[in-house]
Amino acid sequence: MELKRGLYFTIDSIIAGSIILIFILIISSFYIREQPSRRLNYLSQDLIRILGTVSVGELDNNYIKGLINDGAISSLDNSVLEQIGEFWANNNMEYASKTASNVTENWISNNTGLGIWIDNELVYKRDIPIKKSLVSSKKMISGIKKGYTSSSPDRKKPPTLWGPIIVEIRVWE
Amino acid sequence: MNIKLKSQAFFSDFAVSTLIFVIFIIIYFNYTKNLSNQGNGLDNLLANAETISLHLTSDGYPSNWNSNNVVRVGFTDNGNKINNQKFNEFEKMNYNKSKKLLGTMYDYFIFFLNESGNLTNVEGFCGAGYPEIDVKYDIKAAYYYKDNNNDQFLKSFMENEFNSDVYCKDDDDCPGATLDDLRNNINNYGFVVLEAPEWSVGNQYNPFKPVAESWVDSGGFLMISGELVSGQKKEMVGAAFEKGQGLSSSQERATVVRQDEFLNFEVEQSLIFDQGFTVENAGQAVDFTDIARFNESDIDFDDILNNKIAIARWSYGNGKVFFFSDFDATYFKGNFQENLKASIKKWIGAKCLPFDISKIKRDNLVRVDRLIFYNSKILKMVLYSWN
């Protein structure tokens, strides 16, 4: 009669070792920390810094030039954010949204969302779902209401102001 | 005979399997250790790249820094706007010195992309940093000089920076690349430099003039120095060129009379040209801008403002022309040749060709993107850093 013995084969140990290794790798993958998206930090900060200081008169943008030629933009010294704020204050949301869209769209990749809120009211949103993270930068702006300033404003005839209000740029991916 | 059926394990099998298992564990821990080390290296590199980008997009220290007093490099002003003067100082800076001032031990290179994602020339430069990255301009250029016994100050610059074709008067010095060849090929070029051509009127000036004017009119960039043609007051591309009376000295003093956006000379600073040749608007030059004028016998700045012109630029049709009395010159407040070369890159505003970073020896490479504002446009500044 042939002896039947339980044997410890090398191949078994390799398979067993592989299973344990795979198991450890899977477990350790749960502990991998995802890098915070610093790219978004810089994007939102740079946008609010540039749009908050560059005037509509000095920015080479065809849409804004068109608005200047049409008379929709009267003060060339307004920063781009102030101009968007002025459109918002005058309830001209279409101009506000299109201006925001035109000056930002070339700098936002396809997988990045962007929104501009003024006084918590959405002005423009490039809507993609938030999957990873969202970063926000804010700036306080104010301005003179359109048509509410005299040629020589003084204490008796002060210009009507809008703001100060908070403009917020959020970017996400 | 009673046989007991028992499971059995041999010692050798057990030893082999334990060994294999231990090998697996060692491999795993080595792998995770390397992963961790690599992560730390990348983190450091990325943090370093971000610090460089933060420095560069600051105004630097002191706020009006120059190469002599710089403590921290930064070339933007409030609102991420590039300060042209600081950017030029940064560009001229030795790479190792810039690394030291930026506080990085890693190599770096920055360049700029426009809204279409194409490389963009900022202040005449396609990029800055690691000197072995060779960025070329997307413009075809030609350089003409009289012969090997005469001035050729810009020859090597034109060849190195623009991969320029070189022409001269005689077939002996430039086989197959004489003035006739340049005349036939000129429409292939976007930028042509004529250094001290000293053409004769009949054989050279007369046949070249209409071709050059047509080429500049259609958008070419022409730079002329020295004596264009031996005859007095010969016109070409909207201006008249001559060896002015009273400019016979071999060392002609001149004074900068206008701050120019391309040529970084300070007003009222002195220049000395080896040869004094002059130009004036013949009527068809548009936006004729005088930049330096000869002192002649005058001392007061106001008197010099009416003297003969030593440096000028103007538009002709869709093209542009720059004239220098001589490329062989001395600028009292700096290096004439360096200023000249920087102004050329800036003036022609050539597009930049894509560059190849694949040949850089590196373990890790990181990229940081920042937005900056330059010349009415928002640009993306891309910083690569590697170890």
> CA nearest B326: which of B305, B311, B308?
B311
Residue B250 touches partner A, C-beta closer than 8 Å: no
A54 touching B (Cβ < 8 Å): yes
**Measured in Å, how far apart are chain A's first and last C-alpha atoms?**
71
Please say if the pLDDT value at position B166 is more than 90.
yes
Whether A80 shows a pLDDT value over 90: the answer reads: yes
Distance from the Cα of A42 to chain B's closest Cα (Å) equals 7
Query: Two tokens at B117?
Result: 């994602």
Are B20 and A13 in contact (CB < 8 Å)?
A: yes
pLDDT band at B108 (very low <50, low <70, confident <90, very high): very high
Mutation test of the interface with chain B: which of A42, A45, A51, A101, choosing the one with the most B Cβ atoms within 10 A? A42
Same domain, B180 and B313: yes
Which residue's structure tokens are 């001290």? B196
Residue of B nearest to A42 (CA): B370
Indicate the pLDDT class of residue A107, thresholds 50, 70 and 90.
Answer: very high
Residue A69 resides in a domain: yes
Contact A42 B368 (CB under 8 A): yes
The whole-number average pLDDT for the span B56-83 is 90
Token pair of B298 as six digits? 């005058």
- The answer, for A63 touching chain B at a CB cutoff of 8 Å, is no
Q: What does the angle CA B187 – CA B190 – CA B193 come to, to the nearest 5 degrees?
A: 100
DSSP 3-state of B321: strand
Smallest Cα–Cα separation from B244: which of B309, B182, B165? Answer: B309
Task: Starting at the earlier edge strand, list the strands of the sheet with A161-172.
Answer: A121-126, A113-118, A161-172, A134-144
Q: How many domains does chain A have?
A: 1
Q: How confident is the model at residue A98 (pLDDT cuts 50, 70, 90)?
A: very high
pLDDT band at A146 (very low <50, low <70, confident <90, very high): low
Cα B82–chain centre separation: 16
pLDDT for residue A99 is more than 90:
yes
**Domain assignment of residue A1, yes or no:** no
Is A29 contained in some domain?
A: no
Whether residues B306 and B224 fall in one domain = yes
Nearest CA in chain A to B369: A39
Q: Is residue B213 in some structural domain?
A: yes
- Tell me the C-alpha distance between B316 and B311, whole Å: 16
Residues from chain B that touch A47, judged by Cβ atoms under 8 A, are 371
pTM of the full predicted structure? Answer: 0.75
Q: Is residue A154 over pLDDT 90? A: no
Residue to test with chain B: of A41, A50, A99, A105, most B Cβ within 10 A: A50
With CB atoms and an 8 Å threshold, state whether A1 touches B3. yes
Is B4 among the domain residues? Answer: no
Separation CA A112–CA A106 (nearest Å): 12
Q: How many residues does chain B have?
A: 387
Distance from the Cα of A62 to chain B's closest Cα (Å) equals 11
Q: Is B31 inside a domain boundary? A: no
Q: How many CB pairs under 8 A join A and B?
A: 97
Asked if B378 and A18 come within 8 Å (Cβ–Cβ), the reply is no
Average pLDDT across chain B, whole number: 88
Residue A30 lies in a domain: no
Note whether B325 and B204 are same-domain residues.
yes
For residue B171, give its domain range: 141-348
8-state DSSP, B205: I
Whether residues B219 and B285 share a domain: the answer is yes
Rounded Cα distance, B323 and B291, in Å = 10
Q: Mean pLDDT over residues B87-94, rounded?
A: 90
Instruction: State which residue of chain B sits closest to A61, comparing Cα positions.
Output: B377
Which has more pLDDT, B6 or A162? A162
A54–B81 C-beta distance less than 8 A: yes
Nearest CB to A54 within list B7, B8, B79: B79
Helix axes A93-104, A38-53, angle to 10 degrees: 120
What is the DSSP code (8-state) at residue B349? T
B250 and B102 within one domain: no
Q: Note whether B12 contacts A: Cβ–Cβ < 8 A.
A: no
Q: Is A133 helix (H, G, I), strand (E, B) or coil?
A: coil
A121, HSE (Cβ side, Cα atoms, 13 Å): 13
Please state whether the peptide bond connecting residue B210 to the residue before it is cis, i.e. omega within 30 degrees of 0. no
Of B8-17, B121-130, B258-267, the least confident: B8-17
Section B189-196 average pLDDT: 95
Domain assignment of residue B19, yes or no: no
Burial (0-12, 13-18, 19+ Cβ within 10 Å), B155: middle
Residue B218 has pLDDT above 90, yes or no: yes
Contact A12 B115 (CB under 8 A): no
Residues B284 and B158 occupy one common structural domain: yes
> Does residue B47 sit at the A interface (CB-CB below 8 Å)?
no
- Cβ distance A42 to B3 less than 8 Å, yes or no, reads no
Residues of A in contact with B53 (CB under 8 A): 42
> Which one of B8, B17, B370 makes the best mutation probe of the A interface by having the most chain A beta carbons within 10 Å?
B17
Chain-chain contact of A7 with B13 (C-beta, under 8 angstroms): yes
Q: Are residues B180 and B243 in the same domain?
A: yes
- For chain A, where are the E strands, in sequence order? 113-118, 121-126, 134-144, 161-172
pLDDT of residue A31: 62
Q: What percent of chain A clears pLDDT 90, i.e. is strictly above it?
A: 50
Comparing CB atoms, the residue among B9, B17, B28 nearest residue A21 is B28
Residues forming beta bridges with residue B368, ordered by sequence position? B383
CB-based contact, A111 to chain B, within 8 Å: no
Q: Of B318, B333, B348, which residue sits at a domain end?
A: B348
Asked if residue B379 and residue B256 are part of one domain, the reply reads no
The whole-angstrom separation of Cα B352 and Cα B124 is 10
pLDDT (0 to 100) of residue A131: 87
| Long-range contacts formed by B162-166: CB under 8 A, 24+ apart | B162/B136, B162/B137, B162/B191, B162/B350, B163/B136, B164/B193, B165/B140, B165/B141, B165/B189, B166/B142
Judged by a CB distance cut-off of 8 A, whether residue B377 touches chain A is yes
* Residue B312 C-alpha, separation from nearest chain A C-alpha, in angstroms: 27
Is the pLDDT at B316 greater than 90? The verdict is yes
The answer as to whether B277 is a domain residue is yes
Is the Cβ pair A9, B377 closer than 8 Å?
no
Q: Residue A162 falls within a domain, yes or no? A: yes
Assign residue B288 the CATH number of its domain. Answer: 3.40.50.880
Q: Determine the pLDDT at residue B257.
A: 95
DSSP strands (E only) in chain B: 76-77, 81-82, 107-113, 127-129, 141-145, 165-168, 191-195, 221-225, 234-236, 239-242, 252-256, 270-273, 278-281, 286-294, 309-316, 319-324, 329-331, 365-374, 377-386
Q: Do residues B307 and B357 share a domain?
A: no
pLDDT bin (cut points 50, 70, 90) of residue B212 is: very high
Same domain, B202 and B315: yes
Same domain for B359 and B231: no
In a domain, A151, yes or no: yes
Minimum mean pLDDT range among B8-17, B73-82, B137-146, B305-314: B8-17
Give the residue numbers spanning the domain of A131. 38-172
B243 and B153 in a common domain = yes
In a domain, A114, yes or no: yes
- How confident is residue B156, by pLDDT bands cut at 50, 70 and 90? very high
- With beta carbons under 8 A apart, name residues in chain A contacting B368: 39, 42
| % of chain B beyond a pLDDT of 70 | 93
What's the total number of domains in chain B?
A: 2
